[in-house]
Structure 1
């Protein structure tokens, strides 16, 4: 994934290299299966309205703490993936028992993972519109 010349991580001094997995952080139920996991399992991720509500609550709402530049860079990665017709969004949702990150049960069986990520993109562009325009007006090489 692309690194911006000077854009550093929001919580570290390392170069910021966002991936699509960053969008899933708010849904990580590892060691929270009994709380967040139980709550998220009540939502039907195949229902566009329920999916949109979670995206707004847990991604576009929570990620407002990121700078406008970080949000722009993160959304750039998603835009590129969505432009690839054969991009395997399902692979991002697959459960890996060796990993210390976990999504809610059955999320890896979502009917249309591409639609989930397309909804993230659409809603983030709406909710972050002003900040994305601000970042787009700048030269990322100066970050």
Structure 2
């Protein structure tokens, strides 16, 4: 995705992926703290899932500008539009990686529902920012 944005963290092009949504849930080297706490949440319960998404994603991504949020949500929308997109693969544990999600997240009943909830809640919670970025995009800025 060529969006002309620079990363808010380092001076490189901002290329959002669905993994960006999972950053707050990375428990690598924090399994006994963050991992234990996140392990108490039932990711198959839509109410608990929504509360966690709001707590750790939509209310915490303040370092992202409205344009960064729009680019990130656009990537998610594209994935959700693809009926064959494998959301489960994003949650699978890779023992070679220095990135890890909480235990059992790779066994989530419906990973697509998790990402659909992220999309729905981002649309609600970031409504004004997303509308502003979309208007600028349409205007060719």
SS state at 1:138 partner: helix
Given the alignment, which residue of 119, 123, 126 partners 2:124? Answer: 126
Aligned mate of 1:52, from 47, 50, 53: 50
2:80 to 61, 67, 82: 82
Matched, 1:105 2:109: no
1:34-87 alpha-carbon deviations (Å, 9 max, x no partner): 100000000000000000000000000111321000000000000000000010
Long gaps (5+) in structure 1: none
How far apart, CA to CA, are the structure 1 residues paired with 2:12 and 2:74? 19
**Bigger relative CO (Cα 8 Å, ≥ 6 apart):** 1
Aligned mates of 1:22, 1:75 — CA distance in 2:
10
Residue in 2 that maps onto 1:136: 134
Paired residues of 2:24 and 2:56 also in contact (CA < 8 A): yes
Give the aligned length: 140
Match of 1:3 in 2: 2
TM-superposed CA distance for 1:13, in Å, is 1.6
Shift of 1:27: 0.1
Provide the TM-score with structure 2 as the length reference. Answer: 0.96
RMSD: 1.1
Instruction: Name the counterpart of 1:37.
Output: 35
Normalised by the length of structure 1, the TM-score is 0.95
Specify every segment of 5 or more residues in structure 2 that has no aligned partner in the other structure, as ranges: none
Instruction: Return the offset for 1:3.
Output: 2.3
**How many Å separate the matches in 2 of 1:42 and 1:65?**
27
Q: CA deviation at 1:11?
A: 1.2
